[in-house]
Structure 1
Amino acid sequence: MSEVLEKIDIPGLELYKRGKVRDVFFLEDKLLFVATDRISAFDWVLPTPIPGKGKVLNALSVFWFKKTEKLVKNHFITDNPAEFGIDVPEIKERSMVVEKTEVIPFECIVRGYLAGSAWRSYKKTGMVGEYKLPEGLREAEKFEEPLFTPTTKAEAGHDKDVTFKEMEDKLGSEKARFLREKSIELYLFARDYLERKGIILADTKFEFGIKDGEIILIDEIFTPDSSRFWPLDSYIPGKPQLDLDKEFVRQYLLSTGWDRNSPPPELPPEIVERTKERYEKLYKLVVE
């Protein structure tokens, strides 16, 4: 997993969009997702790719889409685009064909532990999303029950926190409740599975779309880009945890003094290598 793919154009296929990480192409009435090695943080795409990262993201999403398909339908069709006549060596092991959906404009975040932006918010306001939490909680402390803290899904700029009521007002009560129920169900399923593998799933986010009138899971699932993972054997609440995700990159960027409003700095080679190692270690722990 050492070659680097920052972007790709595929002859004969029209580009649908370039996301922060994925290049997406029209493929008949479907979509072709290609996971590049771009990495984003704080809503910026960083100038330095992580070699092989896209392959890890793709493989983990394929693994979890298959494992959770009985909990909720998803958009995954195949991770072999050759079945649709697409034989491009550069996208091997980093692509999948998926159903095209009407994307629901919310990110469904489930938090099982007080970490990351939730911890920063709690220190300032005592709140996480719309939840007023007890005083005296420690960083990385486990919640009694997972919190559902949705945000808007912004194509550019920052996602914004929303209350469940705001989500209901936009989508209707039935759809909003389905999204909350399925998001928490998916989180609990993966949390329990990963604990048996020696991994804590601290928080995660999901995206959903509508296909033929039915809500299905889309985008990615339980990857180091969409989730926060900690080794169980080193977990001690009250301090930052060892991580197996891109929190390592976020913390590095915060340490540089970058203002998060101007273009981000390059990542040094040692940060790139240590990030790459984290992604590959997580993949092996989860799948093997």
Structure 2
Amino acid sequence: MKHVYSGKIRDLYEDDNGDIILVASDKISVYDVVLPTPIPDKGKLLTQLSLWWFDRLAGLVPNHVLSGTDVPPEWAGRAVRCRPLKMLPVECIARGYLAGLGLKEYQKQGSVSGVELPAGLVEGSKLPEPIFTPTTKATEGHDEFITLDEVTKQFGAELTGRLRDLTLEVYRRGADLARERGIIVADTKLEFGVDADGQLVLADEVLTSDSSRFWLADEWQPGRPQRAMDKQFLRDWASAVPGWDKTYPGPEIPADVVATTRARYQEAYERITGNTWTA
């Protein structure tokens, strides 16, 4: 097994057949800094929720999954056997509600990634329709908003149109299903690659608590922060840590914050899938 790449949360290995083994850790990052304290079962929760979504979205878009079980036993539950892809260097983000960096961009520009939005929106506002707001995929520093025209210059009109349309449709289908189960998907980030035949393929993770904002539908109220069933809870804690300037090294996470973060990830998994979590 050849080690190919280490990301903030996942490692990639290649076996003798050329398959990729994508292994999720229990590490967690905020503001692009990996914190020193792991969240127990987080890697398994993200992997199992992604596999559940990949299965339900397979009729819409091909994905990279070969198997969620045919993996080395030491990584069981938190690894996926995948086909190799040429990953596209763009983060494909769909937003149905205004929050996070999208909210900040709107407050400065009245738009997000060049998409004009109505005046008077507030934190947590539902947008008139979901929007495609791509960002760069930074290897260092932070991702930056880019416009559809900028993506088109990089990939051409046809591929860019496919990226936009698939991102929005994955979001719509995911948001509709999650809403039926009491979860609002405020936004989500997707990654795509191209296979050996030139086919566009959904990859990495999909509609998880790391890549999406999940809110409890019955508590949603625009104009204030929402109850987050995702990484936002930890971001809020970390931003209030005295003396931390959001650069490496990050602060240790107290036991009660670890437990709450894990509980919210687990609740999101159980609500969305309808399955009881067993580690």
Query: Where do 5+ consecutive residues of structure 2 fail to align?
Result: 275-279
Matched with 2:54 is 65
Separation in 2, partners of 1:186, 1:72: 8
Matched, 1:20 2:8: yes
Matched, 1:137 2:121: yes
Separation in 1, partners of 2:62, 2:41: 28
Deviation at 1:26, TM superposition (A): 0.6
Residue identity (%): 42
Matched with 1:263 is 249
Deviation at 1:107, TM superposition (A): 0.6
Instruction: Name the amino acid aligned to 2:267.
Output: K
Deviation at 1:223, TM superposition (A): 0.5
Deviation at 1:123, TM superposition (A): 2.6
Separation in 2, partners of 1:98, 1:74: 9
Separation in 1, partners of 2:116, 2:58: 34
Q: Where does 1:1-288 land on structure 2 (aligned, <5 Å)? A: 13-27=1-15, 28-82=17-71, 86=72, 88=73, 90-211=74-195, 212-257=197-242, 258-288=244-274
How many aligned residue pairs are there?
Answer: 271
Deviation at 1:109, TM superposition (A): 0.3
1:241-284 deviations in whole A, cap 9, x for unaligned? 00100000111111124222342211111111100000111111
Kindly report structure 1 stretches of 4+ aligned residues shifted beyond 3 Å: none
Deviation at 1:36, TM superposition (A): 0.7
Moved more, 50-59 or 152-161: 152-161
Matched with 1:9 is none
Instruction: Name the amino acid aligned to 1:233.
Output: D
Separation in 1, partners of 2:143, 2:100: 15
Q: 1:192 to 1:135 in 2, by over 3 A?
A: same
Say which SS state the counterpart of residue 234 (structure 2) adopts: helix
Moved more, 127-136 or 98-107: 127-136
Deviation at 1:81, TM superposition (A): 2.2
Deviation at 1:163, TM superposition (A): 0.6
Query: Where do 5+ consecutive residues of structure 1 fail to align?
Result: 1-12
Say which SS state the counterpart of residue 280 (structure 1) adopts: helix
1:100-125 deviations in whole A, cap 9, x for unaligned? 10001101000000011111222333
Separation in 1, partners of 2:151, 2:44: 33
Say which SS state the counterpart of residue 81 (structure 1) adopts: coil
1:55-91 deviations in whole A, cap 9, x for unaligned? 1000001000010010000001101125xxx3x2x31
Separation in 2, partners of 1:282, 1:269: 20
Separation in 2, partners of 1:176, 1:131: 15
Q: Is the 8 A contact 2:113 2:148 kept in 1?
A: no
Q: Is the 8 A contact 2:91 2:136 kept in 1?
A: yes
> Structure 2 length normalisation: TM-score?
0.94
Separation in 2, partners of 1:118, 1:204: 12
Q: Is the 8 A contact 2:134 2:146 kept in 1?
A: yes
Deviation at 1:159, TM superposition (A): 1.2
Say which SS state the counterpart of residue 229 (structure 1) adopts: strand
Instruction: Name the amino acid aligned to 2:8.
Output: K
Say which SS state the counterpart of residue 97 (structure 1) adopts: strand
Say which SS state the counterpart of residue 160 (structure 1) adopts: coil
